[in-house]
Structure 1
Amino acid sequence: MTRSSALAGGGLPSVAAGAAVGGWTAVGALPSPRQWPSSEESAVLLDDGTALAAGGAVVRGIGTGECLLFDPGSRTWQPTGGMQQPRLLHSLTKLEDGKVLAVGGMVQTDSLPFTYLATAELYDPARKTWTPAGKLATPRALHTATLLPGGKVLVAGGIGDQTPGVRRNLRSAEVYDPDSRTWTVAEPMTDARSDHIAVRLTDGRVLLVGGNAGADLYLHVRQSFCELYDPVTGTWAPTGSLRMPRSGHQATPLGDGTVLVTGGFPLTMRRARMFSAHSLWQTELYNPGSGLWTPSGSMPAGRSSHRALLLRSGRVLVLGGTDSATEDVGYAAATVYDPRTRTWTPAAGLTTGRSYCSATLLGDGTVLAAGGTVRSGMADPGYARDLLTETSELFTE
């Protein structure tokens, strides 16, 4: 870590002593390498215990409609009904009736013109088929989709065309009603954002955390502003801001109702593949009662584009990712956070280092990590294309 990031962080990493936590076991591979750049795309656990992976990119920036089911019994992936529209940078949300809602996204991200999708689809696990689920009022990608109390889904922010050919981060929000399969325009957010994280709090409100506030294709400005959506009144309200602006981060609800934020790109702006400053190691804890963020124990190292999940034990597993200085490799390192002591303990490393992967907590308490980016940028001999992986593995605490 650099001296500048240490000075900005306000503290050194707090790492608990002891043996590494848990272990990883390789399981059946995906049919082909692929990545899921947004954590909203991660595979969804179905009621029968299988995990549904839908869409993503089989080559960097090229979306697919292929869908797969992971069977924890056989530890293998099997094909299931494909989506009607190839997409990446979309969202997957399991509904109360067990179906899965796929929303928005893009067909491809590697060449102009960009097309943002307004379509939505429903996956029926019984029939293993997708059917149309209405259309968004505003096409979008890199948004969030959150299941609300009562079964509706809040879709917020993202990127889209505010005017033809002019990409902008979006303030708009919409609510999906699964009973009528219709969309209703909601009150717009206080601030436009994409690549943010949404967390449903224990009282049913939705917390939006950080994200990008930049206004064009190549320039990204991280933001610290956070806001709350109240599903009862249908309104947004500002809440406490992050101490450090970030995107490419994760926000994980803890057992006591607080929210842990880890990693991410810092405030500095980037153009194309040029980065400045390292990914954040400093973590923050949100208290819904006070609406304030406070520093929490720092991770052993900074990372972005990682995944973080709450384990059955109440601890948080952070896995994979990369660093904002180069974004050229997928990390194999993993670490576990204990909310009781606010300390981090090294976890067993992934068998394959990866960022932009899918990560899902399965019914038996294990964590499934699949696909992702192994190398990118100058670490990839081809440079023009990311090196993706088809490997999958399970973490047992």
Structure 2
Amino acid sequence: LGRHLDDIWATYVGNRAGTRSSNALTWQQLASGTPSGRFGHSCILVGDALVLFGGINDRGLRLNDTWIGQIICEEPCRMRISWRLLEIGPLAPSPRGAHAACCIDDKFIVIHGGIGVHGSRLGDTWLLDLSDGLQSGSWRRMGDTGPLPSARSGHTLTWIGDRRMVLFGGRGSEYEVLSDVWLFDIGDHLLQWKEQKYDLSSILGELPSPRAGHSATFLFGGKILVYGGEDKERRRRDDFWILDIPALLQFESGNRKMAKRMWKKLRIDGQSPNCRSFHGACVDTSGYCVYLFGGMVDALLHPAESLGLRFDGQLYQVELVLHL
């Protein structure tokens, strides 16, 4: 009890990934001299390597170490990971966990916010430059002028192409749960956050409720799939939402009519995953088949417990289907 894990597993879904028939999985525990056990860290694929940052260890200490995990394929379905601390120089983000992170063009990692020392929520943004081919890296703080997202944890940061990212949701400094949407642009001549505020009367249908611990996965066709998460009472959700990026960008450019096209709730056919938060999600190379794994799910509440909670170990395949 209370021990944070340091093991790494991979699954091979075969040559028919992205189809309804690909339901046979092979799990493999990867041999590696790994970083210490932790949770609330970020771990992002950059080329053929993983970049791990931060997290919270068994003693509740926040971490700010940066690791490179080189993926080594020894045969078609067997691999291992070799870890090393990344040389980053004297500057690094403060220790944290439950931050948001994304990768840009396999050259940069951007992180935002998280839970810092003594449980305080953070609102800073940092960029890790990996243009030296993962041999070394350098952190620098970014975007501290102009309107900024409030401090938060459990939010998502999703790369949408070029040098733009979308931030959504999270839990704020007063433990409120958020549903705001921000664009962040780190282009050569522009470095700014911009909140996408819209008049609720212009929205047709529902909007996603405020949430933290959700996933936000970029799909083929310029859409972000938002799934699950939890509300301010820590009630977990199992709903799927599409955030349409072309509509979002037109709205950001001044076309207010695009607000009604930004969000769409998806209908679920077949088996639905249980309500969950703080799970993992990724998309396959097709861009329309998403895999969801693990997370916190509700459990039966026993008389001696203050809350019912368990951790799920199932992997779900979610296929996005276009109805013409």
> TM-score normalised to the size of structure 2?
0.66
Distance 1:366 1:134, change over 3 A: same
Cα shift readout 1:56-89 (whole Å, capped 9, x = no counterpart): xxx6x53211111122224343222242422222
2-structure distance, mates of 1:179, 1:378? 50
In the alignment, what sits opposite 1:62?
Answer: 3
Instruction: Answer yes or no: is 1:359 the counterpart of 2:256.
Output: no
Instruction: Answer yes or no: is 1:85 the counterpart of 2:36.
Output: yes
In the alignment, what sits opposite 1:99?
Answer: 49
In the alignment, what sits opposite 2:239?
Answer: 333
Determine if contact 2:113/2:151 at 8 Å carries over to the other structure. Answer: no
Shift of 1:247: 4.0
1-structure distance, mates of 2:238, 2:273? 7
Shift of 1:312: 0.9
2-structure distance, mates of 1:253, 1:156? 13
Instruction: Answer yes or no: is 1:181 the counterpart of 2:135.
Output: yes
**Matches for 1:7-156 after TM superposition, within 5 Å:** 62-73=3-14, 74-82=24-32, 83-96=34-47, 98-108=48-58, 114=61, 116=63, 118=65, 120-126=67-73, 128-134=80-86, 140-142=95-97, 143=99, 146-147=102-103, 151=107, 153=109
Shift of 1:146: 4.9
Instruction: For 2:13, give the aligned amino acid.
Output: P
In the alignment, what sits opposite 1:248?
Answer: 154
Is the partner of 1:265 in helix, strand or coil? strand
Is the partner of 2:56 in helix, strand or coil? coil
In the alignment, what sits opposite 1:196?
Answer: none
Distance 1:380 1:153, change over 3 A: farther
Instruction: For 1:131, give the aligned amino acid.
Output: W
Unaligned runs of 5+ in 1: 1-58, 190-228, 230-235, 271-276
- Count of aligned positions: 271
In the alignment, what sits opposite 2:225?
Answer: 317
1-structure distance, mates of 2:304, 2:285? 39
Higher RCO (C-alpha 8 Å, min separation 6):
1
Determine if contact 1:133/1:182 at 8 Å carries over to the other structure. Answer: no
Unaligned runs of 5+ in 2: 15-23, 75-79, 248-260
The RMSD of aligned alpha carbons is 3.9
In the alignment, what sits opposite 2:265?
Answer: 345
Instruction: For 1:250, give the aligned amino acid.
Output: T
In the alignment, what sits opposite 1:286?
Answer: 183
Instruction: For 1:335, give the aligned amino acid.
Output: W
Shift of 1:132: 1.6
2-structure distance, mates of 1:240, 1:141? 23
State which of 288, 291, 295 in structure 2 corresponds to 1:372: 295
> TM-score normalised to the size of structure 1?
0.56
Shift of 1:373: 0.5
1-structure distance, mates of 2:42, 2:153? 17
1-structure distance, mates of 2:151, 2:112? 19
Distance 1:115 1:293, change over 3 A: closer
2-structure distance, mates of 1:359, 1:380? 33
Is the partner of 1:238 in helix, strand or coil? coil
